[in-house]
Amino acid sequence: MTYLLIKTLHLLAAIAFIGTLFFQVLILAPAAQRLDPSVRALLGPVLGQQARHVIHVVAIVLYGAGLTLVWPYRSLLANPLSSTFATLLSLKILLAFMIIGHYAALIFLRRSQRIGERGMHWLNVSLLLHAMLLVICAKSMFVL
């Protein structure tokens, strides 16, 4: 029952995480291109702040639940090539850490003011692709 609850939380957080990225990349960014620069300048920081706030909470639930879920499989991870399941789970975890790497890079680039709107967009595209690949691993690891 507890495992089911944690798995459900993990899945809901994954939906929220990928849904936010999907919205940013495929809806918000193209729509913002059609706005007047003055409106974009007003809207951008407000939306960015709210998105960061939501993503922080979602990421804590997602990664916290993920670490709990992986506990029963810990011995398998010692030998990632021992089975298809172990390989896909290891790949899934690697992708999850690469996603954290994206956010670390984003924080660094923002603080040193080395990233503009275009850079942020491509970083979000890369995040979305990593997250999609991760879900493919998650969903195929029990089937293949």
Positions touching ligand HEM (CB under 6 A) are 7, 10-11, 14, 17, 62-63, 66-67, 69-70, 73, 93, 96, 99, 131, 134-135, 138
Pick between residue 16 and residue 29 the one whose CB is nearest to ligand HEM: 16
Pick between residue 28 and residue 62 the one whose CB is nearest to ligand HEM: 62
Smallest separation (angstroms) from ligand HEM to the CB of 87: 14
Segment (H or E) for 8: helix 2-23
d(CA 110, CA 102): 12
Residues making up the chain, counted from first to last: 144
Closest CA to 6 of 57, 55, 70, 90: 70
Smallest separation (angstroms) from ligand HEM to the CB of 88: 10
Smallest separation (angstroms) from ligand HEM to the CB of 54: 14
Pick between residue 21 and residue 28 the one whose CB is nearest to ligand HEM: 21
